[in-house]
Structure 1
Amino acid sequence: MNEVISSTIQSPAQGLQAVWGWFDVSQDDRARVSDLLPLAEQNIEAILQDFYSRDGGYDHPSGEGAASGMQKVKDEQRRHLLELFDAGLDQKYFEGRKSAGIFNENYGISPSFYLSLYTFAINRICDLIREHTKDGAEAETVQKALRKTAACHQAITIEAFSAARSEAIEQRERQMSELPTPALRLQEGLLLVPVVGVLDSHRSRLLTMQILDAIRDQNARVVVLDITGVAAVDSMVANHLIQTMTATRLMGAQSVLTGISAEVAQALVKIGVSDDALNPAGDLERGVETARKLLER
């Protein structure tokens, strides 16, 4: 099942065919929706204006650049809505859905807001279909085709939105993992190493090397390793921390671990780490006090 779902993003030719089938969108449905394009083009401006002018419908931004930013959002939304009526199964359509998802992510447009606009627009166009179609049965058939196609269209965009968000998060995590970790000399023999950001296995290994080099270069006897700024530590990274502190002792220095969160404490307990191995202190201030006492011994 996961392979089929992921194919909607990675393999447009096969994936989009499958998605159309999931939503029961037939070739006739797509033809009916395509015939609605002139009607949509004639009314899209009024639909967008009505959507944004509703009381409580939108919290209009303020400040420098807000107007131009909103105009760009509306221009993109107009394009994305009209793409619904010319939905093919080719690379162009796939790229359009991916572009919509990435745009929403970059401009902070939530899936809920995106879906609310589409729901509003589709309801308005269904109203127009009823007004312009004399045959009630045919109007009902066209509306049904539009709603099925719109649901499929939205689903693909939301999936692209999700992929774009995951990619953005991974990119930020990579950037955070590449942040340098300084070894600060608080006084003779005492180093402070504040760690901020994502502490994955790769960065943990680099951190160990940096600490050991700093101990050697500055003749440090105690190192305070502060992980207050680390968002999450899993069992593997916790193991790296223990290895780092063990390597510190082998270099002739003692270490103090500060800034341990509840999540980090649980990760350390899971791998059977005791207080003796960590020499922990609740916060940085107490950690520095502990380190200075160790220097006096």
Structure 2
Amino acid sequence: MGLNNGSIERRKKIVGLEPSDVARIAAIKDLVVRRAEDYSATLFEHLSGLDEARKLFDNRALLDKARRLEVEHVHGLVSGDYGMKYVEQRLELGLLYALAGLETSVFLGAFHQLLRLVGSHVIRHSEHTPLDAFDAFMSLKKVAFFDVGLIIDVLVFERERVIRQQQEAIRELSTPVLQLRDRLLMLPIIGVIDTYRARLITENLLEAIRARRAKVAVMDITGVATIDSRVANHILQTVTAARLMGAQVIVTGITAPVAQSLVALGIELSKLDTVGDLQGGIELAEQTLGYRVQQSDATVPRINGIHGAS
């Protein structure tokens, strides 16, 4: 998350945490520490009644660790030391809640219950005047909001990371490079091709060409409805890059609308090897590699290589 001492101090400034607040918090430290487990228990009691927190309670090891870290959290709130080590502890707690699948709203609701109980006890049982006790609690709330900012950032960051991983997995599945036979690859493309996906197609194809020592690759775009100029140029660049790696790319399945749009865009296609359909593209690829089709006695086609059976 890119946290350093400078960003930590900036976060303290945002919530208004000052040295005078630390002094006021010190005055209620013992009172809060004595009931740390009660405060923590209130948070988990609130969560136990929510279906959104069921994953946490279904995992005993995760729940036990969360309870321990939350008690340490309460101790940390009144510790007076809110540096990097303190931040790392809050991040650990946030990661645990993220692992349990807690939404930010669920965490905020439970943490509010904890703070409400802390405030009630501080006002009622502090040895100081009610006004001083209230001021001390308000100083403590600054630290609490400092913590909330950290934990919510972790929850959001982890959720976005999971979404990015899922999107990446979907994109990987949407651009598979298949090996049909030795030195022959096929890349079927279906759906919309944006700039990012076009780049992913290039990367996957070139990596497969190198890893499998391919000589010919058939790129089938039958399932692509439209191609703009950027994507068309990217495909041409892919073909050129593959050629530099010693492989030929045959593009198949260009539909009439795609052909018309490419012509209208003025895309230079003279360096592109195209075949009408996938079957024709595979046949051309096999001829390029030296394979030929022979009819067996059982009328089942058999493909042999010029230099021996495949």
> Could you list the runs of 5+ residues in structure 2 that have no partner in the other structure?
191-195, 271-275, 285-310
* Map of 2:303 onto structure 1: none
The answer to whether 1:205 aligns with 2:200 is: no
Aligned residue for 1:86, secondary structure, equals coil
Q: Is 38-47 or 57-66 further displaced after alignment?
A: 57-66
Distance change in 2, residues 1:210/1:189 (3 Å) = closer
Superposed displacement of residue 10, structure 1 = 3.2
* Residue aligned with 2:78, SS: helix
How many residue pairs match? The answer is: 259
Structure with the largest fraction of helix: 1
More displaced, 157-166 or 91-100?
A: 157-166
Structure 1 residue 78 displacement after superposition: 2.4
- CA distance 1:226–1:166, shift in 2 (3 Å): farther
Name the residue aligned to 2:108. Answer: 115
Matched, 1:40 2:32: yes
Matched, 1:137 2:131: yes
Once structures 1 and 2 are overlaid, which stretch shifts more, 23-32 or 177-186? Answer: 177-186
Q: Is 1:244 matched with 2:244?
A: no
Helix, strand or coil at the partner of 1:141: helix
Give the match for residue 286 of structure 1.
Answer: none
- For the pair 1:69 / 2:62, whether they are aligned, the reply is yes
Q: Report the alpha carbon displacement of residue 70 of structure 1 after superposing the two structures with TM.
A: 1.8
Q: TM-score, normalised by structure 1?
A: 0.63
Distance (Å, rounded) in 2 between the aligned partners of 1:36 and 1:47: 15
Alignment counterpart, residue 220 of structure 2, candidates 210, 217, 224: 224
Q: 2:151 aligns with which of 137, 150, 157?
A: 157
1:58 aligned onto 2:55:
no
Cα distance per residue 1:16-73 (max 9 Å; x no partner): 3332222222212122223433333332323333333349732363799622322222
Q: Separation in 1 of the partners of 2:123 and 2:250? A: 80
Q: Alpha-carbon deviation of 1:152?
A: 1.8
Distance (Å, rounded) in 2 between the aligned partners of 1:167 and 1:241? 29
Paired residue type of 2:250: A
CA deviations on 1:252-292 (whole Å, 9 max, x unpaired) are 6233489xxxxxx9xx99xx698x99xxxxxxxxxxx9412
Q: Is the 8 A contact 1:97 1:156 kept in 2?
A: yes
Find out whether 1:125 has 2:123 as its counterpart.
no
Who wins on radius of gyration, i.e. which is larger?
Answer: 2
What's the counterpart of residue 279 of structure 2?
Answer: 292
Aligned sequence identity (%): 19
TM-score, normalised to structure 2's length? 0.61
Report how far residue 121 of structure 1 moved. 0.8
Q: Return the offset for 1:88.
A: 2.0
Q: Partners of 1:293 and 1:248 in 2: how far apart?
A: 20
- Tell me if structure 1 keeps the 8 A contact 2:220–2:278: yes
Q: Which consecutive unaligned segments of at least 5 residues does structure 1 have?
A: 1-5, 229-233, 259-264, 278-288
**Equivalent position to 2:19, from 21, 24, 27:** 27
**Residue 100 of structure 1: which of 85, 93, 101 is its match?**
93
